[in-house]
Amino acid sequence: MGTAPLTVDFALRLASAAARVLAPEGGRVLIGKDTRVSGYMFESALEAGFVAAGVDVLLIGPLPTPGIAYLAQRSGCNFGVVISASHNLYEDNGIKFFDGQGSKLSDELETQIENSIDAPVLTRESQRLGKATRIDRLRTQYQEFCASTLPEGMDLRGFKIVVDCANGAAYKVAPRVLADLGAEIVPIGCSPNGRNINDGCGSTLPELLQLTVPGVRSQVGMALDGDGDRVVMVDALGRILDGDQLLYIIANDRLDRGVLQGPVVGTVMTNLGLEHALAARGVKLLRAQVGDRYVLSLLKESGATLGGETSGHILCLDKTTTGDGLVSALQVLAVMKRTGKSLAELAAGMKKYPQVLLNVRVARKFDPSSAPGVRATIAGVEQRFGGRGRIVLRPSGTEPVIRVMVEGEEAELVSSSAREIAAAVEAAAPPTDPARRSAAR
């Protein structure tokens, strides 16, 4: 952060380019952010670029990414902007956009903005400049919306909930929504200082949550990530439930009530146990590429409304337009309230298969499935699995790494098979530093 490509100068030019494409005749933009100290810097740069281009700016401060998507639509904005690096530590930052309908920008619009980045910064004449307004109180509209995704008349009285907000964007709204619904709240990761976002807390590091839930005798815990679009949950014994298990609970409940629409959408990394559990009830799991953009695209293509990723990025399109960690958690809490069952009982119908993910660092990106040695190794592993396992090889989109994922019913076979395939990939494309191959979380 602060070095190319994400600099103050870049943010200023990005705002100018986005204004040219998304609001060429002027308009309105909503800017939100998480709690990183650099957010103030980029917020000011974006504000200057938009105002100079004749776009009115609404500044709402820290708010979850899905809150910006919702309020951009609700406030009649041409588009919304979020300053966040999601689950990364505070040194990183990023900028993402939503259109006026609360959806991520199309590839075509993103390309148009990219092509305008190097143009001179647009500055309108004085009478056409935009103006900036702080609207911090508007966050209550998002809080009310989240609460409204529970069934009418339902509250959370009787629940004791540990909520971990990763010292991030949801540190105000998540505890308030849960408390307003009548739950007893034990907050952790709700004291941001600009530098502690995702630091030892949140959905990527839920160990503190796992200790706290049984420690305070809570029925359930939930951990959001830094920008609030992911959630994982913890049962009364401190056991983690990831996005696949939460997706199963929500889908199973909707199926019981006869309101599940279409198939369920996961990714190539979604645990095989979810696919088998859904199939046992006659529900098909469709697999998209990794990334919520691809999950959303397949949801729309298949006419489905429920999908998500193992990370806890869950999309309930009958409730909102994008992944929302708080809304997803509320759907699970609603099932607990309606059925009177614990989180562990609700997840018991899904057997989570052992899964191993290894990263093989390579000198250059390549297609590992094109290597004869890799193909032969995979064929041998598949024969041993006998149709009761899965292998996924995919290059990382951000670094020179091949990700090797193997899952199946027998943990030892899965582990040994993953190492065998990783070794074959390593042999096919010698890594730059073999010692850096490691199991990923």
pLDDT given at position 438:
40
Reported as a pLDDT band with limits 50, 70 and 90, residue 3 is low
What value does the mean pLDDT of the chain take? 94
Using DSSP's 3-state secondary structure scheme, residue 297 falls into helix
pLDDT in tens, 420-438: 999 999 999 854 544 444 4
Mean pLDDT for 109-122 is: 96
In the predicted model, what is the mean pLDDT of residues 390-407? 88
Residue 367 — pLDDT band, cuts 50, 70, 90? confident
Of all residues in the chain, the percent with pLDDT exceeding 90 is 90
For residue 266, pLDDT beyond 90: yes
Give the pLDDT of residue 405: 95
With a cut of 60, say whether residue 204 has pLDDT above it. yes
Which tokens belong to 177?
A: 């929504």
Mean pLDDT, to the nearest integer, of 265-272? 96
Pair 187, 212: CB distance under 8 Å: no
- Cβ-count burial 184-196 (b if 16+ within 10 Å, e if not): bbbbbbbebeeeb
216-224 mean pLDDT: 98
Position 398 scores a pLDDT of 66
Query: What average pLDDT score do residues 362-385 get?
Result: 90
Q: What pLDDT score does 4 carry?
A: 60
pLDDT of residue 439: 39
Give the residue from 275, 282, 236, 274 showing the smallest Cα distance to 256: 282
Catalytic residue among 16, 38, 84, 86: 86
Active-site annotation holds for 218: no
3-state secondary structure 84-137: CCCCCCCCCCCEEEEECCCCECCHHHHHHHHHHCCCCCCCCCHHHCCCEEECHH
Q: Compute the average pLDDT of residues 255-276.
A: 96
Tokens of 103: 């959806």
Asked if pLDDT for residue 393 goes beyond 80, the answer is yes
Q: Which of 359, 358, 368 is nearest to 429 (CA)?
A: 368
Q: What pLDDT does 430 receive?
A: 56
Structural domains for the chain: 8-137 (3.40.120.10), 141-239 (3.40.120.10), 241-328+340-347 (3.40.120.10), 355-439 (3.30.310.50)
pLDDT, residue 363, reads: 82
Q: State mean pLDDT over 342-367.
A: 92
- For the entire predicted model, the pTM comes to 0.91
**With bands split at pLDDT 50, 70 and 90, how would you rate the model's confidence at 156?**
very high
For residue 335, the surrounding DSSP H or E stretch is helix 325-339
Is pLDDT of 52 > 90? yes
- What pLDDT is stored for residue 360 in this prediction? 92
Asked if residue 43 has pLDDT above 60, the reply is yes
Strands 240-241 and 231-234: antiparallel
Please tell me the distance from the alpha carbon of residue 366 to that of residue 289, in angstroms, as a whole number: 18
